[in-house]
Structure 1
């Protein structure tokens, strides 16, 4: 399989980390949607990453769809999201918060870094950062209560929460002050980033 996209994207990184944790082999083509748009477009017509090219040539896009397919490959006992019931809902709730935080941070990051300064919409950037902060606060409270975050084993909730925190450190260090604002997530990030699957997928 081939994974398309840079680990700078939290959505790409959570796929790369999941594949690595599950020992599913893949080639990683760290292509940028900014500087290598035309190449990315050959895999994803939306020019969005991640894209995952399966062994049979089928290409999946969107990290949620890709991770669902990866869980199917892994089987119900190893899947990173439980297959049914309260455990599944608990994990998906935390994943939704982490993914939502990442989406808002990406929006704020592009607003601040890609738009010409004279057209910066400061109120919109701050609103997105406030939404990300609210989601990360809930995840921080969850990490302060128990780690792993749900069900006593590492799940997609843990992967996505730590990667969301790491992305805040990478792109919103001044706006969200993640290391001081989310101390439980900071400690959990340090623990998980000591594992090869997380360490080897950090943004470069």
Structure 2
């Protein structure tokens, strides 16, 4: 398998870490949707990161869809989502919050980096920042100490690290001590260290 995309994307990084935890052999090709657009488009004309190319040439995209496929292949002892409905619903709730935090962080980054300064739309930035902080406030309350390693907990850590890397002026670390501890703990895991934010 080949994973296409840069590790500065939280979506690419969550797939890379998950592949590692699933024990799946893969090659990481760090192509950028910006700097290497043409090269990326030869693999996936939609140029969406992450892209996963399966051994038979099938091209999958969107981190949640890729991970759904990988979860279906994982043996019971390597699954990252709980099988019991109530526990799974709780993890999916956390996962939704973490993915919302990723999305809102990316929107803020794009607003500042891709739009000319004179065209920045402050009401939009305020709205997105509010949504981002609401997602993290919910995660802060719901994550337990020593949360087990799962798709929800790893995605929450990846999202937090991305936000601190890109929008730390919006997401003040001191306001979310539980999330900060959680991410710091998981960032010490070998799978996280093998696929750091670049």
Q: What TM-score do the two structures reach when normalised by structure 2?
A: 0.95
Matches within 5 A, 1:144-183: 145-148=144-147, 153-177=148-172, 179-183=173-177
1:108-154: CA deviation from partner (whole Å, max 9, x where unpaired): 110011111111112211211110111011111123x3331xxxx32
Counterpart in 2 of 1:194? 188
SS of match in other structure, 2:16? helix
Structure 2: tracts of 5 or more residues without a match: none
Counterpart in 2 of 1:57? 57
Contact 1:17 1:197 in 2 (8 A): yes
Matches within 5 A, 1:38-187: 38-143=38-143, 145-148=144-147, 153-177=148-172, 179-187=173-181
1:17-41: CA deviation from partner (whole Å, max 9, x where unpaired): 1011222111000111011111222
Contact 2:97 2:135 in 1 (8 A): yes
Contact 2:94 2:139 in 1 (8 A): yes
SS of match in other structure, 1:176? coil
Structure 1 residue 52, shift from structure 2 partner: 0.4
Contact 1:53 1:60 in 2 (8 A): yes
Contact 2:145 2:182 in 1 (8 A): no
How many residues end up aligned between the 2 structures?
Answer: 198
Structure 1 residue 84, shift from structure 2 partner: 4.7
Contact 1:10 1:167 in 2 (8 A): yes
SS of match in other structure, 2:28? strand
Structure 1: tracts of 5 or more residues without a match: none
**CA distance in 2: counterparts of 1:44 and 1:89, whole angstroms:** 32
Structure 1 residue 13, shift from structure 2 partner: 0.4
Structure 1 residue 47, shift from structure 2 partner: 1.4
